[in-house]
Amino acid sequence: MKRVAMTGVLIGACLLPVTAFGAGNVTYTNGTIQNKDFGYSVKTTAALQTAIKQDKVDVVKNKTVKTKYGTVTRSGTFSLYYKVKGKDQMLVNLNFEPKKLTKTQFEKQVGFGTYLGTKGNKTYYYVQPTEAVQGAVGKQKIADLIARDVPTMMKTFKLK
């Protein structure tokens, strides 16, 4: 019994996100999401600002999460989630690779996401969902945010 209990504790500890420098430095103020330490900012669209004010969309400060397949997200970045029953619908996830990559290198080495650029030793990109979660299926407002507002917002992404 003790062995089983310890295994559960170890598995639980391995699944907890490991927080690295920069996770708490993501801020949302007056329609702008930014991390001054990493030197990026992005302006949300009016529709996203309204959804955030109405508490329908969450701005989530990412933490570094490692899985057996590699790192999933990294601290200092953010995700936007639309609240639906069951699982929340991801609208966008900003991420980075901890090395400087050209667009061609990014396409070969990472192979997914939309390349945004580099600063220092980081290559920034974003990922959008390919399909809706069960609670979001058929909701035009969510589809519009994913198809129209998120790409418009990410065009305002700036590295300082």
For residue 105, the SS3 value is helix
Of residues 81, 63, 77, the one with CA closest to residue 129: 81
Percent of the chain with pLDDT over 90: 63
Residue 158 is which amino acid? K
pLDDT tens-place string over residues 40-55: 999 999 999 999 999 9
Half-sphere exposure of 150 (CA within 13 A, CB side): 23
pLDDT tens digit sequence for 96-147: 999 999 999 999 999 999 999 999 999 999 999 988 888 787 888 999 999 9
85 CB burial (10 A radius; 0-12, 13-18, 19+): exposed
| Residue-level pLDDT at 130 | 82
Extract the tokens encoding 101. 């990559």
Collect all residues with Cβ–Cβ distance below 8 Å to 101 and sequence separation of at least 6: 109, 110, 118, 123
Predicted model pTM: 0.80
